[in-house]
Amino acid sequence: MSKLYFTYSAMNAGKSAILLQAAHNYGECGMSVMLWTSGHHASDPDARMGEIESRIGLRAPAHIFRAETDMLDAIARRKAEGPLNAVFVDEAQFLSKDHVWQLARVGDDLGIPVLCYGLRTDFQGELFEGAAELLAIADDLREARTICHCGRKATMNLRQDSAGGAVSEGEQVGVAKSDYVSLCRVHWRERLDLMRVD
């Protein structure tokens, strides 16, 4: 049975770079892959293709998933056209619960490994829907690590305003990646002023 993998982390851990390197390795071995990314940042709401881009400049074209996308059907149709050795999903935190189960069936029923990469929690410390479902049902969980400015492992994502102040309310999605900083839980709480006990 092929597995459903979830590699998660805080911001700035290099998840997209890891994904693109792994996809490149498949290609170097003569294998075929299908890449997916979220439509949340697509400028054209009807675009079917987007791009996975890492902070260090690696990039590759990718299919876009949106709420209405039937990923199982799309992947099955691609497999019918010729060999498909793996599926890679960037920004997996934006998957819906249904998407995650579709991807599980890609592994279970189509025999194709699915490797998902994404954030675990949002800036308020809440699980994203896709991350929650992946943490619940993925066969293999991996953590990509990054560090806080203090040297501890960063596990939290802090949203900042243009002046560098912490933001504790607002939309979960649709914010520029540059508005975030990765922190350990202690410094995340400190920045949000949650350490005071009344």
- Angstrom distances, CA of residue 11 to CA of 15, 87, 198: 8, 22, 31
Sign of CA dihedral 105, 109, 112, 113: positive
Q: What is the DSSP letter of 14?
A: -
Instruction: Output the DSSP codes for 115-183.
Output: EEEEESB-TTSPBPHHHHHHHHH-SEEEE---B-TTSSBP-EEEEE-TTS-EE-SS-SSS--GGGEEEE
Tokens of 151: 């040297």
Both tokens of residue 111?
A: 């025999």
129 is an active site residue: no
Cα gap 5→32, rounded to integer Å: 18
- Whole-angstrom Cα distance, residue 170 to residue 101? 28
8-state DSSP, 88: E
Choose the catalytic residue: 51, 68, 81, 91.
91
Q: Which residues are catalytic?
A: 91
